[in-house]
Amino acid sequence: MPADIISGKELAQTIRTDLAAEVAALKAEHDIVPGLATVLVGEDPASVSYVTAKRRACEQVGVRSLHHELSADTTEAQLLKLIDKLNNDPAVNGILVQLPLPDHIDENAVIYAINPDKDVDGFHPVNVGRLLIGEARFPPCTPAGIQEMIVRSETPTEGAEVVVIGRSNIVGKPIAVMMLQKAPGANATVTLCHTRTKDTAAHTRRADILIVAAGVPNAVTADMVKPGATVIDVGVNRIGTTDSGKAKLAGDVDFDAVKEVAGKITPVPGGVGPMTITMLMKNAVAAAKLTLS
Please give the backbone phi and psi of residue 42, each rounded to the nearest 5 degrees, phi first. 90, -170
Q: Residue 244 is which amino acid?
A: S
Q: How many residues does the chain have?
A: 293
| Per-residue pLDDT at 137 exceeds 90 | yes
Under the banding of pLDDT at 50, 70 and 90, the label for residue 293 is confident
Domains of the chain listed by start with CATH number: 30-120 (3.40.50.10860), 141-273 (3.40.50.720)
* Burial profile 263-284: b = 16 or more Cβ within 10 angstroms, e = fewer: bbbbbbebbbbbbbbbbbbbbb
DSSP-assigned states of every residue in 15-71: HHHHHHHHHHHHHHHH----EEEEEEES--HHHHHHHHHHHHHHHHHTPEEEEEEE-
Share of the chain above pLDDT 70, in %: 99
> Which pLDDT value is given to residue 44?
86
| Per-residue pLDDT at 48 exceeds 80 | yes
| Per-residue pLDDT at 247 exceeds 90 | no
> Which pLDDT value is given to residue 277?
96
What integer best gives the mean pLDDT of the chain?
95
| Per-residue pLDDT at 128 exceeds 90 | yes
Task: Pick 237 or 96 by higher pLDDT.
Answer: 96
User: What residues are labeled active site?
Assistant: 54, 98, 121
Under the banding of pLDDT at 50, 70 and 90, the label for residue 46 is confident
pTM of this prediction? Answer: 0.94
pLDDT in tens, 6-19: 999 999 999 999 99
